[in-house]
Amino acid sequence: MPPHEPVLKGKAAVRTWDHQFLTHLRTSSLTIADREVLTGGEWATEIATFEWGLVLVGGGSAVVDRGSYAQVWHHEPDGRWLFAREIARYGTVRPRL
């Protein structure tokens, strides 16, 4: 789920949102802390806190957001772990694009 926006459903919706986000903002820093990974069979859940610095592509000061997230991963038959779901709590409002 993107911050402060409706839930995205389907790969196409996620790709469209990611493309728009990355067209306007770039990561300037990212710190993951308190990370825990819980596994069971072909599923894993990752929970952590983060501090994420973002800067507008056109320049300006970085905005630093702090929050936490939970991600669900699925272990595929070929051995890869693929991202399946995410929910996050963000601490600040993202910059207007």
Domain boundary assignment for the chain: 11-90
Q: pLDDT digit string (tens) for 47-72?
A: 999 999 989 888 888 888 899 999 99
Q: Is 17 helix (H, G, I), strand (E, B) or coil?
A: helix
Per-residue pLDDT, averaged over 22-36, amounts to 92
Q: What is the Cα–Cα distance from 77 to 46, expressed in whole angstroms?
A: 20
- Nearest 5°: the CA angle 64, 19, 35 is 45
| Identity of the amino acid at 43 | W
Q: Which fold has domain 11-90?
A: Nuclear Transport Factor 2; Chain: A, (3.10.450)
Q: What is the Cα–Cα distance from 59 to 57, expressed in whole angstroms?
A: 5
What distance, in Å, lies between the first and last C-alpha atoms of the chain? Answer: 18
Q: Higher pLDDT residue, 97 or 69?
A: 69
pTM: 0.76
